[in-house]
Structure 1
Amino acid sequence: MGVLAITGFGVVSPAGASAAELAGAVAAGRSTARAVEWPEVTLPTGTAHHLPEFSARAELGRRGTGFFDRRTGLAVVACGRAIEDAGLDIGEDGHRTGLVLGTTVGSAQAAVDYAAETFTEDPPYLVNPALFPNTVLNGAAGQAAIRFGLRGVNATVAGGPVALLSSLRYSANAFRTGQADVLLAGAVEEFTPHAAWLWAGLGGAGAPGEGAAVFVLRPPEGLEHRPDAEILATAAGFCPSGEDQVYALADCARRALEQARVGAETVRTVASASGADEVAAWRARNELEGLLGVEGAHHLAAVELAGNSPAATPAVELALILARHRAEPARDGEIALLVASSPAGAVAAAVVRGWSRGDDRG
């Protein structure tokens, strides 16, 4: 794949909403988990990295948001913040500007609630048609495109923990084949009882979370300013059932480093969100870093800041890395390695080079 330039990003996360807040969260290293209760609903956990104060209507206004589900609200707000952060003027170029959004299953709650209405309404077929778009996997991406005039590529990638990295690969292919000039790419996950039980049923450990992070991508050629970061390479693979996934993940990371022409000894940060329990995650991380030879790199513990949110946590990880670069110019040019794996056996990795913003960009 070709190099991708990131020129701005937007985040909705328990760790913060601005670059300064995210950088402060990394420095503090405090968990954002809080007690959670849901009226008349039993949850599989008593704590979550959730955003009870978040309201799409408060963020975006009443117009067009009346039937947004939580996932759509998070995604649209993150897209708006990314567009603003990048200073992106879509204008008449909307047909060359698109969106690639990662998720796990979309909105589990919207799908279940709509299906339930088909049995409980009187008569049962009189369900509210305005709620149907929320049941569709690409509903959030479609709403964001409508709101911001993104008339180009519009895709939703269902990959769970590897959704963000898959979205970056999808974006690189779209640029390579001439389908877009600018793309917003990211991932979103909501916290609802349905999502919490789904995550628990898949064997996910730790406190669940929610959030969204979206990045404005361009090909690096012809940029007027230095980007916030460059995605130098991505790689993906699969680990068959019964084999040790950490070896497949290490091989995937090696391929990404080779494609980026970067030595493992230059990696300064490793981000590897894991849905495993704390002890298993620690062992897997140490083994992975040993296999790659990056034991001296800083490990970014995004799970403590954003929770175990399959699609969103890796996206928030990338935002945390960019926020730290923006706050610390001494890190200019540092290399970060993002790795992710899913319970089904998918593995992915990306190599990122970050930069601070100069006086010309603020």
Structure 2
Amino acid sequence: MTESIAVTGIGVVAPNGLGTEEYWAATQKGISGIDRISRYDPGCYPTQLAGEVTDFVAGEHLASRLLPQTDRMTQMALVASDWALADADLDPASVPEFDMGVVTASASGGFEFAQHELQKLWSKGPEYVSAYQSFAWFYAVNTGQISIRHGMRGPSGVLVTDQAGGLDALGHARRHLRKGTGVVVSGGVDASLSPWGLVSQLTTGRLSPTRDPERAYAPFDVSADGHLPGEGGAILVLERASHARERGARSYGTIAGYGATFDPRPGSGREPGLRRAVETALADARVAPEAIDVVFADAAGLPDPDRAEAAALSAVFGPYAVPVTAPKTMTGRLYSGAASLDAATALLAMRDGVVPPTLRVTEQAADCAIDLVRDAAREMTVRHALVLARGHGGFNAAMVLRAPTAD
């Protein structure tokens, strides 16, 4: 039988909490980190709300020499990886360097850094552009910087599948572990709320124009008019279960199943690929649909994608058959950081027996036949959780997480 892959450490940087326990405390209480963008005046943009990590000061956590070399997303990813390794009680120096890998996801790369350097190019000339621009903008930079920081020279990589990337990275990390690597640091962190980043996101037509933080981004609601962007994410430490046991590590749970699909061509009349991703993940985990205790939804926040997700869940589980939640309504959609943060949240829900709420859904759409956990957390035992993610352009990912007691 294939060996289980355990999650032994979690590091979180999120708009409603800096650090895992601060984030989790806020999320259980339904405290939102969404507000008007504060780093610049967003008045000229149709979307003016976002999930900003307002209390993150990179210089408080990282050496000053790293700051001019790195984008905000990389700074967050480095700090989250530090916290995840500390949470796992794992000193990288105690593990052979080629037995440790890094797999991250990125949806946009270092947008804020790139914007600043492009502004220098246009206003002053090429000689003023930082040499660090050559890699600070790149999709794989978080993987590279985490690898360098911790001396991790084993199998590594980056996944670029938008919102689905956070799960795809964890799924790819699991493959490396099953092939023999001892430890893989994995997850996703994005931070593209600079003006250039925001304008790029506006081109999708999926951002909510609502100006009231108490009303914007309401997935599965009759008034759903789009999502809100956010920054941050989660980095996880994954280990082969035997490796974790040998060093006496605590396990939050295991990655029991994973599935990824791609949607058919628009207008083809064929069913979207989300249901197949769910069924693939369930089959991989060797669990029946009724074993799933809660679903962490992708929650696009638009009528058609919300309806399609609800239909996929109803097809697999039956209408209103399983609790569904979308805690990303407190953070915004963090792109590559969203699904890894949902995975971390699901593991914390298993640990404490609490499913966090979905905010701002005042009137659930009649054609979304799901048991949505709304307004307040729901206390319940969680043995298996299903996490869903869809990336712009047709990417779908599903992951089944299993509590340690269910292994």
**By the TM > 0.5 criterion, same fold?**
yes
Aligned residues: 353
Instruction: Note if 1:100 corresponds to 2:103.
Output: yes
Q: Which range is displaced more, 53-62 or 244-253?
A: 244-253
**Residue of structure 2 in register with 1:128 after alignment:** 130
Instruction: Note if 1:235 corresponds to 2:259.
Output: yes
Residue of structure 2 aligned with 1:302, choices 319, 327, 335 = 327
Residue of structure 2 aligned with 1:169, choices 168, 171, 191 = 171
Q: CA deviation at 1:71?
A: 0.9
- Matched position secondary structure for 1:60: coil
Alpha-carbon distance in structure 2 between the residues aligned to 1:245 and 1:71: 37
**Residue of structure 2 in register with 1:75 after alignment:** 77
Q: CA deviation at 1:332?
A: 6.4
Residue of structure 2 aligned with 1:111, choices 106, 111, 114 = 114
Instruction: Note if 1:287 corresponds to 2:311.
Output: yes
The letter of the residue matching 1:238 is F
8 Å CA contact retained: 1:189, 1:210: yes
Q: Which range is displaced more, 14-23 or 185-194?
A: 14-23
The superposition leaves residues 75-105 of structure 1 with CA deviations (integer Å, 9 ceiling, x where unpaired) of: 1011011001000111152221121110112
Q: CA deviation at 1:143?
A: 1.8
Alpha-carbon distance in structure 1 between the residues aligned to 2:108 and 2:341: 18
8 Å CA contact retained: 2:182, 2:243: no
Q: CA deviation at 1:65?
A: 2.5
Alpha-carbon distance in structure 2 between the residues aligned to 1:23 and 1:40: 30
**Residue of structure 2 in register with 1:34 after alignment:** 35
- Matched position secondary structure for 1:223: helix
Q: CA deviation at 1:113?
A: 3.5
Question: Any stretches of 5+ residues in structure 1 without a counterpart?
Answer: 357-362
8 Å CA contact retained: 1:32, 1:304: no
Q: Which range is displaced more, 112-121 or 234-243?
A: 112-121
Q: CA deviation at 1:28?
A: 1.9
8 Å CA contact retained: 2:71, 2:111: no
Q: CA deviation at 1:159?
A: 1.3
8 Å CA contact retained: 2:233, 2:334: no
- Matched position secondary structure for 2:135: helix
Q: CA deviation at 1:328?
A: 3.3
Cα 1:16–1:355 change in 2 (3 A) is farther
Alpha-carbon distance in structure 1 between the residues aligned to 2:326 and 2:190: 18
8 Å CA contact retained: 2:50, 2:230: yes
- Matched position secondary structure for 1:337: strand
Identity, in percent, stands at: 25
The letter of the residue matching 2:322 is A
Instruction: Note if 1:352 corresponds to 2:376.
Output: no
Q: CA deviation at 1:246?
A: 6.4
The letter of the residue matching 2:13 is V
- Matched position secondary structure for 2:241: coil
Q: CA deviation at 1:175?
A: 2.1
Alpha-carbon distance in structure 1 between the residues aligned to 2:98 and 2:20: 29
Q: CA deviation at 1:106?
A: 0.8
- Matched position secondary structure for 1:65: helix
Instruction: Note if 1:210 corresponds to 2:231.
Output: yes
Alpha-carbon distance in structure 2 between the residues aligned to 1:126 and 1:23: 43
The letter of the residue matching 1:79 is S
Q: CA deviation at 1:203?
A: 2.7
Cα 1:82–1:321 change in 2 (3 A) is same
Q: Which has the higher contact order (CA 8 A, sep 6+)?
A: 1
- Matched position secondary structure for 2:333: coil
**Residue of structure 1 in register with 2:343 after alignment:** 318
The letter of the residue matching 1:102 is A
1:261-272 pair list within 5 angstroms: 261-272=286-297
Cα 1:344–1:325 change in 2 (3 A) is same
Alpha-carbon distance in structure 1 between the residues aligned to 2:33 and 2:323: 20
The letter of the residue matching 1:253 is V
The letter of the residue matching 2:171 is R
Alpha-carbon distance in structure 1 between the residues aligned to 2:129 and 2:198: 25
8 Å CA contact retained: 1:44, 1:197: no
Question: Any stretches of 5+ residues in structure 2 without a counterpart?
Answer: 207-225, 355-378
Alpha-carbon distance in structure 1 between the residues aligned to 2:269 and 2:39: 38
Alpha-carbon distance in structure 1 between the residues aligned to 2:280 and 2:138: 35
Q: Which range is displaced more, 242-251 or 230-239?
A: 242-251
Alpha-carbon distance in structure 2 between the residues aligned to 1:251 and 1:244: 16
Q: CA deviation at 1:319?
A: 1.4
Alpha-carbon distance in structure 1 between the residues aligned to 2:343 and 2:397: 14
Cα 1:324–1:40 change in 2 (3 A) is closer
Q: CA deviation at 1:134?
A: 0.8
8 Å CA contact retained: 1:188, 1:311: yes
Q: CA deviation at 1:177?
A: 3.0
8 Å CA contact retained: 1:302, 1:313: no
- Matched position secondary structure for 1:218: strand
Q: Which range is displaced more, 343-352 or 243-252?
A: 243-252
8 Å CA contact retained: 2:77, 2:189: yes
8 Å CA contact retained: 2:8, 2:237: yes
Q: CA deviation at 1:186?
A: 0.2
Alpha-carbon distance in structure 2 between the residues aligned to 1:129 and 1:20: 37
8 Å CA contact retained: 2:274, 2:309: no
Normalised to the residue count of structure 2, the TM-score between the two structures is 0.79
